[in-house]
């Protein structure tokens, strides 16, 4: 099971939802100091065609994720660019594998991925938040980049969380 429990994640979401703009900027400054690559991966989305309004969605996901990391009382290693690249390669490979499958089999594969994920709670939050903002259907290249960046955050947190467990 993952480091980020449902209770920790729920409280992190409440924390972030209750923050004013200045508090969110301070939290982003903490992210820049402690996990700069996670912040950079989201801010880079603007260069990939993600508009400022849509950029608020992955930024919110990042803020909640980081707040949950802080609340977990876990010693988190820095997410490196190499870790991000490895996680993105895995995500991309999974997506390509699923593309050719019949719908029912693809659904089983996705369900198995979710059930076995190291950070199931965080993964569920991210899917839910993206779904709430109608960003799971991937109608544009920008939406594809946004979706992959958000899911890659989850993968990186899962790997980083498990790295200190061993």
Domain residues for the domain of 43 are 6-163
The number of domains in the chain is 1
Q: Given pLDDT bands bounded at 50, 70 and 90, which one contains residue 100?
A: confident
> Is the Cα torsion angle 88, 94, 97, 98 positive or negative in sign?
negative
CA distance linking residue 48 with residue 69, whole number of Å: 27
Q: Mind listing the pLDDT tens digit for each residue in 112-155?
A: 777 777 899 999 999 999 999 999 888 999 999 999 999 999 99
Please indicate, yes or no, if residue 91 is contained in any of the structural domains.
yes
Please indicate, yes or no, if residue 1 is contained in any of the structural domains.
no
Share of the chain above pLDDT 90, in %: 74
Q: Which residues contact 76 (CB under 8 A, 6 or more apart)?
A: 34, 35, 69, 160, 161, 164
Give the angle 25-29-35 at the CA atoms, nearest 5°: 130
Please indicate, yes or no, if residue 65 is contained in any of the structural domains.
yes
* Number of other residues whose CB lies within 10 A of the CB of residue 71: 17
Please indicate, yes or no, if residue 114 is contained in any of the structural domains.
yes
CA Rg, the chain, in Å? 15
Q: Which residues contact 142 (CB under 8 A, 6 or more apart)?
A: 45, 48, 49, 50, 51, 54
pTM of the model: 0.90
Please indicate, yes or no, if residue 52 is contained in any of the structural domains.
yes
Of 76, 54, 73, nearest in space to 8 by CA: 73
Name the more confident of 165 and 97. 97
Please indicate, yes or no, if residue 87 is contained in any of the structural domains.
yes
Please indicate, yes or no, if residue 86 is contained in any of the structural domains.
yes
Of 83, 63, 79, 69, nearest in space to 21 by CA: 63
Q: Mind listing the pLDDT tens digit for each residue in 44-56?
A: 999 999 999 999 9
CA distance linking residue 127 with residue 136, whole number of Å: 8
Please indicate, yes or no, if residue 69 is contained in any of the structural domains.
yes
Q: Given pLDDT bands bounded at 50, 70 and 90, which one contains residue 1?
A: low
Name the more confident of 25 and 96. 25
Q: Given pLDDT bands bounded at 50, 70 and 90, which one contains residue 164?
A: low
């Amino acid at each position: 099971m993952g480091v980020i429990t449902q209770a920790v994640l729920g409280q992190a979401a409440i924390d972030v939802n209750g923050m004013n703009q200045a508090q969110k900027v301070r939290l982003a400054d903490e992210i820049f100091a402690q996990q700069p690559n996670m912040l950079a991966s989201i801010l880079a989305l603007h260069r990939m065609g993600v508009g400022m309004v849509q950029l608020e969605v992955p930024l919110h996901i990042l803020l909640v994720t980081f707040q949950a990391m802080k609340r977990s009382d876990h010693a988190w290693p820095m997410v490196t660019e190499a870790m991000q690249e490895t996680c993105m390669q895995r995500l991309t490979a999974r997506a390509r594998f699923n593309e050719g499958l019949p719908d029912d089999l693809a659904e089983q594969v996705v369900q198995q991925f979710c059930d076995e994920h190291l950070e199931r709670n965080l993964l569920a939050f991210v899917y839910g938040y993206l779904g709430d903002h109608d960003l799971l259907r991937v109608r544009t290249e920008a939406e594809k980049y946004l979706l992959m960046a958000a899911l890659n955050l989850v993968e990186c947190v899962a790997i980083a969380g498990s790295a200190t467990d061993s």
